[in-house]
Structure 1
Amino acid sequence: MAEGAEYPKAAYRMGGEIDVWGRMMSMCSLVDPLDEERALNEGWFLHPNDVPDEEPLTAEELEQPKRRGRPPKARTE
């Protein structure tokens, strides 16, 4: 491998079968900058310490707000 080569590198997220410093995580290998960008957008982290204890929200969950309670009443005029 060439000196200073950045790839391959690992990415981490909670909820897997690999024990990483006492926390169960999933790992994937990143082979190039596009692969890294895709993984980061999908909720992966480049360092185990950056992984939150809870699963982060996905882009789809952020785009659609959760609805609570009953729907607003229709106005009659």
Structure 2
Amino acid sequence: MTEIEPTVAVTIARALSRHGVKFIFGQSLPSAVILAAEEIGIRQIAYRQENMGGAMADGFARASGQVAVVTAQNGPA
């Protein structure tokens, strides 16, 4: 039996995990990357506007000293 290649989303989630990412700041739309990340224990923290997601991630990184990741959707909501 051949092993199925991981998707791009799974590969990204694994890379984030290797770099110690525990949280992703993202809009409430569950993208493939968010779903893959949640499967391996990376938690999504939702925001409503992209600029607030950036501010939240910046504050998190400054306060914790950890890597912060922000995801955004393309186009208007």
Tell me the TM-score range normalised by the shorter chain.
under 0.3
TM-score (norm 1): 0.28
From the two aligned structures, give the one with the greater strand fraction: 1
Larger radius of gyration: 1
TM-score (norm 2): 0.28
